């Protein structure tokens, strides 16, 4: 035994290999960037907003006193908060439902072989890679109260009557629908790419076996493709929920929460209260209401990761 160890030592490795094989040194080294990132960019702001939410801090003053749950009482008592909460849920659920439908259709279409496939794939990815402010300008024009492309096209095709002239961003229900449409347009590419990756990971043999076993298109899709795609679909949905639930860009750019706060979501309401209204404590309290949902999403993620580890 001793001779064997001695022999092993004589076979000297370079310092590089020694470092690469030293797990005790290696794992803290590898984890350090992630931990640093979480502490600085996630942990610190989160603690700060927890801290703010129980204080009376404002943008303009230097004093800061502990006020307990007063901010939360104030937030819950406000009408706009409840509108924002309801809108956030509608915004998230409705947009993610349609994202799922469209992304599935697109992913299936794109997984088939046809000429010019890469071009179509590129075009579909464009909304995801293009800056949202750029896209928003286009959408502002589409929804414009005077120049609305939809209205002019609708009238030219006589779908809209001569006196129908919807103000897309000015009427509460239409404004909400408009915002949801833009969010769908934003998230669909990401979901499509995720589902496409899932589709290509299903071996062709399995589709072929189902075809030989007598299954037609619908049976293959519903009983083979969808169930096999389920775990990755869940990933796409969770991403979509996180991105939509916490998102303020679309609402901010299109309606600024208007008309009369009817399209506020939690993220914009926190921003308007805390930054523009100067009430940092109130804004922090509003934004903390996003937290439970995101925790739930994170837990589902972890469960999912665990399950795929075990199998």
> Residue numbers of the site for other proteins (CB under 8 A)?
203, 205-206, 208-216, 219, 223-224, 227-228, 311
- Give, as one character, the DSSP assignment of residue 84: H
Choice between 167 and 234, CB closer to other proteins: 234
d(CA 16, CA 275): 50
For residue 86, count other CB atoms closer than 10 A to its CB. Answer: 12
Minimum CB distance to other proteins, residue 225 (Å): 11
Choice between 146 and 212, CB closer to other proteins: 212
Task: Specify the DSSP element, H or E, that contains 211.
Answer: helix 204-212
For residue 191, count other CB atoms closer than 10 A to its CB. Answer: 26
Choice between 59 and 206, CB closer to other proteins: 206
Q: What is the DSSP string of 93-139?
A: HHHHHHHHHHHHHHHHHHHS--TTHHHHHHHHHHHHHS-HHHHHHHH
d(CA 136, CA 38): 31
Minimum CB distance to other proteins, residue 227 (Å): 5
Tokens 């919807």, residue located: 166
Minimum CB distance to other proteins, residue 199 (Å): 15
Minimum CB distance to other proteins, residue 230 (Å): 8
User: Which residues are 55's β-sheet partners?
Assistant: 66
Minimum CB distance to other proteins, residue 201 (Å): 11
Choice between 83 and 224, CB closer to other proteins: 224
d(CA 98, CA 3): 69
d(CA 311, CA 291): 31
User: Which residues are 263's β-sheet partners?
Assistant: none
Choice between 8 and 310, CB closer to other proteins: 310
Choice between 21 and 208, CB closer to other proteins: 208
Minimum CB distance to other proteins, residue 292 (Å): 32
Choice between 68 and 214, CB closer to other proteins: 214
d(CA 232, CA 248): 26
Cα–Cα distances in Å, from 295 out to 130, 242, 270, 288, 300? 29, 10, 19, 11, 9
Minimum CB distance to other proteins, residue 208 (Å): 5
> Residue 157, SS3?
coil
Choice between 21 and 213, CB closer to other proteins: 213
Minimum CB distance to other proteins, residue 259 (Å): 48
């Amino acid at each position: 035994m001793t001779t064997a160890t001695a022999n092993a030592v004589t076979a000297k490795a370079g310092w590089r290999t020694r470092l690469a094989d030293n797990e005790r040194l290696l794992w803290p080294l590898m984890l350090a960037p992630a931990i640093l990132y979480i502490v600085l960019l996630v942990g610190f702001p989160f603690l700060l907003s927890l801290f703010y939410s129980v204080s009376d801090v404002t943008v303009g003053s230097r004093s800061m006193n502990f006020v307990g749950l007063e901010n939360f009482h104030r937030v819950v008592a406000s009408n706009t908060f409840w509108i924002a909460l309801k809108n956030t849920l509608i915004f998230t659920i409705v947009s993610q439902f349609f994202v799922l439908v469209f992304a599935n259709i697109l992913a299936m279409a794109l997984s088939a072989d046809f000429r010019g496939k890469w071009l179509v794939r590129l075009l579909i990815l464009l909304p995801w890679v293009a800056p949202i402010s750029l896209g928003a300008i286009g959408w502002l024009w589409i929804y414009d109260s005077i120049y609305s492309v939809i209205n002019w096209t609708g009238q030219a095709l006589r779908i809209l009557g001569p006196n129908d002239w919807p103000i897309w961003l000015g009427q509460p229900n239409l404004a909400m629908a408009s915002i949801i449409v833009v969010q769908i347009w934003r998230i669909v590419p990401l979901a499509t790419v995720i589902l496409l990756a899932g589709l290509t990971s299903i071996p062709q043999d399995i589709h072929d076996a189902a075809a030989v076993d007598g299954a037609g298109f619908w049976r293959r899709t519903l009983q083979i493709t969808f169930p096999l795609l389920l775990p990755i679909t869940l990933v796409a949905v969770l991403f979509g929920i996180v991105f939509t639930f916490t998102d303020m860009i679309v609402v901010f750019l299109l309606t600024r929460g208007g008309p009369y706060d009817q399209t506020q979501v939690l993220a914009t309401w926190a921003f308007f209260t805390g930054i523009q209204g100067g009430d940092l404590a109130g804004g922090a309290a509003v934004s903390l209401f996003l937290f439970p949902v995101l925790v739930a999403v994170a837990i589902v993620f972890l469960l999912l990761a665990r399950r795929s580890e075990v199998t």
